[in-house]
């Protein structure tokens, strides 16, 4: 039993849908197959824009109802193409798949999958074509799992069904040392640990949805990222860190260009203030990333600066302006033209020279670092958005990420 997932570019046109159907049919000759499919091409972007043209602040329930239609189109078309190839196939939406999520719109987590119906179809010899990115609340309202969430549907179904493999078919040949569309010399990696992939996904390597990686790690699912257009290539396998053969101090670099920065100025310096500010943001479900607090000369006030996802900027700014008025801060500044450039590698904390080299190389190239944060296996710098891609290429060169493995064991 295997799960195959096909992203938007892979089903962009009817010709591509036919290509996908032939990949699925080939797999179905040997195994039971669940094929998870995303919306065609840029359909989700289009629907999102449409909603924002229809309404200044689209109702979140209705927005999810609208976005979910993208995947309903593509699954029906893929099932039809499979029928034309002589295969028995049935398309199922999130609700029909028995996927229950939290009662939250736009980024709901899957809480349960009732696979009864799905299994009945598989047992009867059907290929199930499953709509990615969607589920339903316990009350039956349609929800979506966040942008890129079809990966999560695929891994969650693989876990629920005990599938042996979960193949993520996409428009690149696997996971590279950097986005191959940005860094032409980026190297395809044969294997990546769940931990590294989780960090990469969180810092903007779009190739896998972070929750898909979390679920894969939790359930030890053998996820393989591979190309729809060159399906004969093996792609990249996700593995446990203990199974990895090779470690390199720096294994990947990514830019997240969906960031924004907010600052709240001259905040009175007293206990409980940070709790109040970030509590207000949490109430609006805004996730905050890097946080920097800088004090002024007289030390009675601080500036607090942090980053958020650009899609949360308006919500965050409103919440912050209210908090500023309440606590007597001077005001709020917002900057959309920022990006976060991150390097990932095992044991970065133990190698202080890595961070120093990264900062120096960016400095020598005239790229100003505006904020920095680090974890055990990640170093992130906020830079101007216009410098982001150049910074990624500089760092990729600096650490010789194009060089073949093994460099160091
Ligand atoms: P899909 O529609 O198939 O889900 P996505 O656009 O979500 O595809 O993800 C694939 C894209 O991820 C690639 O086209 C590539 O530009 C981008 N990407 C960013 N970082 C990486 C990386 N390290 N390795 C591979 N692809 C990456
Ligand atoms: N169609 C959704 C999106 O564009 C989900 C996905 O592609 O994974 O975000
Ligand atoms: Mg994707």
pLDDT in tens, 302-326: 999 999 999 899 999 999 999 999 9
**The predicted structure's pLDDT at residue 311:** 87
For ligand 1, which residues put their CB under 6 angstroms from it? 7-10, 38, 148, 170-172, 175-176, 178-181, 205-207, 252, 254
Nearest ligand, CA 5: 1
Give the pair of three-digit tokens for residue 333: 């500044």
pLDDT in tens, 108-150: 999 999 999 999 999 999 999 999 999 999 999 999 999 999 9
Closest CA to 147 of 14, 47, 32: 47
For the chain, the 3-state helix, strand and coil shares in percent, each to the nearest 5, are 40, 25, 35
**The predicted structure's pLDDT at residue 9:** 98
* Distance between Cα 134 and ligand 2 center (Å): 10
User: pLDDT class for 154, splitting at 50, 70, 90?
Assistant: very high
Using the 8-state DSSP alphabet, how is residue 38 labeled? Answer: P
**The predicted structure's pLDDT at residue 296:** 84
Residue that is written with structure tokens 């909603």 in the block: 51
Compute, in degrees rounded to 10, the torsion defined by CA atoms 266, 271, 277, 280.
-150
| Atom 5 of ligand 2, residue of closest alpha carbon | 148
| Dist CA 337 CA 118 (whole Å) | 45
**The predicted structure's pLDDT at residue 248:** 76
User: pLDDT class for 409, splitting at 50, 70, 90?
Assistant: very low
Q: Quick one: CA dihedral 381, 382, 384, 387, positive or negative?
A: positive
Closest CA to 312 of 151, 107, 144, 145: 107
User: pLDDT class for 48, splitting at 50, 70, 90?
Assistant: very high
* Tally of CB atoms within 10 A around 234: 12
Going by their DSSP bridges, the two strands 191-193 and 236-239 should be labelled as parallel
Query: How would you class 190 by CB atoms within 10 Å of its CB: exposed for 0-12, middle for 13-18, buried for 19 or more?
Result: middle
| Dist CA 187 CA 26 (whole Å) | 29
Go through 309-336 and write b for each residue having 16 or more CB atoms within 10 A of its CB, e for each that does not.
bbbbbebbbebbbebbeebebeebeebe
CA distance to 39, 174, 303, 310, 367, per residue, from 306 (Å) = 33, 32, 10, 12, 20
| Dist CA 202 CA 281 (whole Å) | 20
| Atom 10 of ligand 1, residue of closest alpha carbon | 207
* Distance between Cα 81 and ligand 1 center (Å): 26
**The predicted structure's pLDDT at residue 349:** 77
Cβ 259 vs Cβ 324: under 8 Å: no
* Distance between Cα 136 and ligand 1 center (Å): 27
| Mean of per-residue pLDDT scores for the chain | 94
**The predicted structure's pLDDT at residue 406:** 56
pLDDT in tens, 285-298: 899 989 999 988 88
247 pLDDT higher than 70: no
3-state secondary structure of 162: coil
Please spell the DSSP secondary structure of 329-360, one letter per residue. --EEEEEEEEEEEEEE-TTGGG-HHHHHHHHH
pLDDT in tens, 333-366: 999 999 999 999 877 878 889 999 999 999 999 9
The better pLDDT of the pair 352, 393 is held by 393
Angle of CA points 149, 246, 341, to nearest 5°: 50
For ligand 2, which residues put their CB under 6 angstroms from it? 7-8, 38-39, 44, 70, 132-133, 147-151
**The predicted structure's pLDDT at residue 298:** 80
Residue that is written with structure tokens 């946080």 in the block: 291
pLDDT in tens, 91-103: 999 999 999 999 9
**The predicted structure's pLDDT at residue 405:** 64
Query: How would you class 77 by CB atoms within 10 Å of its CB: exposed for 0-12, middle for 13-18, buried for 19 or more?
Result: buried
């Amino acid at each position: 039993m295997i799960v195959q997932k096909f992203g938007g570019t892979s089903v962009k046109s009817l010709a591509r849908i036919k290509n996908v159907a032939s990949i699925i049919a080939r797999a179905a000759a040997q195994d039971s197959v669940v094929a998870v499919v995303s919306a065609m091409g840029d359909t989700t972007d289009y629907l999102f824009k449409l909603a924002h043209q229809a309404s200044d602040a689209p109702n979140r329930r209705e927005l999810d109802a609208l976005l979910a239609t993208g995947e309903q189109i593509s699954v029906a078309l893929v099932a039809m193409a499979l029928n034309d190839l002589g295969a028995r196939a049935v398309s199922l939406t999130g609700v029909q798949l028995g996927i229950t999520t939290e009662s939250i719109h736009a980024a709901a987590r899957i809480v349960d999958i009732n696979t009864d119906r799905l299994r009945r179809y598989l047992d009867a010899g059907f290929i199930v074509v499953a709509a990615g990115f969607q589920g339903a609340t316990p009350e039956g309202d349609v929800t979506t799992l966040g942008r890129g969430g079809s990966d999560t549907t695929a891994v969650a179904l693989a876990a629920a069904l005990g599938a042996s493999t979960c193949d993520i078919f996409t428009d690149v040949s696997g996971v590279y040392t950097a986005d191959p569309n940005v860094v032409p010399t980026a190297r395809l990696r044969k294997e990546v640990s769940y931990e590294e992939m989780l960090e990469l996904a969180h810092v903007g390597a779009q190739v896998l949805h972070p929750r898909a990686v979390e679920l894969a790690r939790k359930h030890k699912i053998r996820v393989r990222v591979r190309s729809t257009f060159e399906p004969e290539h093996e792609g990249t396998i996700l593995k446990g860190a203990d199974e990895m053969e090779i470690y390199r101090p720096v294994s990947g670099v990514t830019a997240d260009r969906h960031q924004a920065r907010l600052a709240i100025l001259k905040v009175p310096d007293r206990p409980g203030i940070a709790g109040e500010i970030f509590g207000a943001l949490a109430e609006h479900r805004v996730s905050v990333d890097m946080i920097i607090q800088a004090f002024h000369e007289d030390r009675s006030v601080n500036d607090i600066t942090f980053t958020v996802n650009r899609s949360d900027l308006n919500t965050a700014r409103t919440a912050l302006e209210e908090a500023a008025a309440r606590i007597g801060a001077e005001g709020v500044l917002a900057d959309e033209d920022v990006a976060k450039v991150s390097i990932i590698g095992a044991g970065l904390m133990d190698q202080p020279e890595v961070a120093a080299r990264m900062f120096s190389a960016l400095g020598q190239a005239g790229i100003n670092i505006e904020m920095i944060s680090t974890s055990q296996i990640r170093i992130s710098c906020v830079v101007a958005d216009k410098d982001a891609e150049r910074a990624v290429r500089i760092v990729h060169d600096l650490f010789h990420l194009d060089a073949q493995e093994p460099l160091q064991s």
